[in-house]
Structure 1
C-alpha cells in the first residue's frame, strides 16, 4: 500500500508539476513531463497520485470577464445566530446547494462566513438573500459589499512558500 501524499510529503518534482498545471490546466501530459524534466510515465504517475490524494481537486476554465459583464458580484459577511458545531455544519452543508454562492469561507473574527455571490441584478440579489433568511440557515445578520471591479483573482497558490516549509 502506497503512503498517502500530504503537503508535507510533496517533493520538488511534485511542486514543479503543481506549478505548471496551475499556470496551464490544459497542458498535455507529454508537455508537462518535458517542462518538469521527468519521463512521461513518471510524470503521469505523479500526476495521478496528486489527483488521488486530493492535492489536485479539479481542473477549471477561467471565463472571460466579458461573459459575466451583466452580473453583479457581492461579498457577503454572514453572522450566525448560534455558534454551535451543528449550526456551523448545517450552514456549511446547506450553502452548497446555492449556485449563486460562488465561494464561501469560514472566518475567524467578528463574522462567521464570507461568501462571494453572483446575481444578475440588485433586485435578484436581494431576493436571493431574502430567500436565504427564510430557509433556516441560522443567519442572524449579513452585510453586503458590492464588487466594483476585479483587481486580482484566480491567482495560483504560491507554491514556493509551501515548498520551503
Structure 2
C-alpha cells in the first residue's frame, strides 16, 4: 500500500506514540516510552505537544452497552427541509443538547446528516424522534436503521499509511 502525505507533519516517533495510545489509552507514560523506544522525558514532552496541538482530543472509557442496560443503537439519516447555511448551523448547534445523539456527521449526497442515537427501546426511540421533530430543527425526513450487532467499532485510525517527514 502506498503511503499518503502527512499534512500534520507527524514524525515516526509521533506516529508510534499515537498508535500505542490508540490501542491502550491507559498505558503509563513509562511503559509508553519503553514501547516506542524513547526516554520517559522525551516521550512525555511529545505526548504533551500532541495534546496541546489538538492531535489527541481526549481519553475515554469504552463501555459495554450490553452490560450497562442493553442499549439499542439506531443510525438515523436526516434530510433538512432547507439547505441554507443558517439552517444547517441551527441544526448542528441544536443537536448538541440531546445526549441521546452520540455522533452526528454532515454527509454529502442524498442525505444531509447521519446520526448515531442510543436508546433503551424502540418505544423510547420513537418518543425521542417525535420530540426531535417538534423541536423545530428543520428536519424534513428521517430514516432509521437499527443496529442489530456491532461488527467493528472504535477502530484506531490507520496511522501506518501516513508518510513520515
Same-fold call, TM cutoff 0.5: yes
- Following superposition, the deviation at residue 24 of structure 1 comes to 0.2
Look up the SS of the partner of 2:156 in the other structure.
coil
Query: Do 1:20 and 1:32's aligned partners in 2 also have CA atoms closer than 8 Å?
Result: yes
Name the counterpart of 1:146: 146
Name the counterpart of 2:76: 76
Q: Aligned partners of 2:89, 2:112: CA distance in 1, in Å? A: 12
Alignment of 1:108-119 (within 5 A): 108-119=108-119
Q: Over aligned residues, Cα RMSD in angstroms?
A: 1.5
Query: Do 1:15 and 1:163's aligned partners in 2 also have CA atoms closer than 8 Å?
Result: no
> 4+ residue stretches of structure 1 with deviation over 6 A?
none
- Following superposition, the deviation at residue 162 of structure 1 comes to 2.7
Q: Aligned partners of 2:62, 2:163: CA distance in 1, in Å? A: 26
Structure 1 residues 57-116: Cα deviation after superposition (integer angstroms, max 9, x where no partner): 000111124324521110000001111111111111111111100111111100000000
Alignment of 1:1-150 (within 5 A): 7-68=7-68, 70-150=70-150
Look up the SS of the partner of 1:33 in the other structure.
helix
Q: Aligned partners of 2:155, 2:14: CA distance in 1, in Å? A: 19
Q: Structure 1 regions of 5+ residues with no counterpart?
A: 1-5
Q: Aligned partners of 1:76, 1:9: CA distance in 2, in Å? A: 36
- Following superposition, the deviation at residue 8 of structure 1 comes to 2.7
Q: Aligned partners of 1:134, 1:163: CA distance in 2, in Å? A: 48
Q: Structure 2 regions of 5+ residues with no counterpart?
A: 1-5
Look up the SS of the partner of 2:140 in the other structure.
strand
Query: Do 1:78 and 1:111's aligned partners in 2 also have CA atoms closer than 8 Å?
Result: yes
Greater CA deviation, 58-67 or 28-37? Answer: 58-67
Q: TM-score, normalised by structure 2?
A: 0.92
Look up the SS of the partner of 1:9 in the other structure.
coil
Q: TM-score, normalised by structure 1?
A: 0.92
- Following superposition, the deviation at residue 7 of structure 1 comes to 4.3
- Following superposition, the deviation at residue 164 of structure 1 comes to 5.9
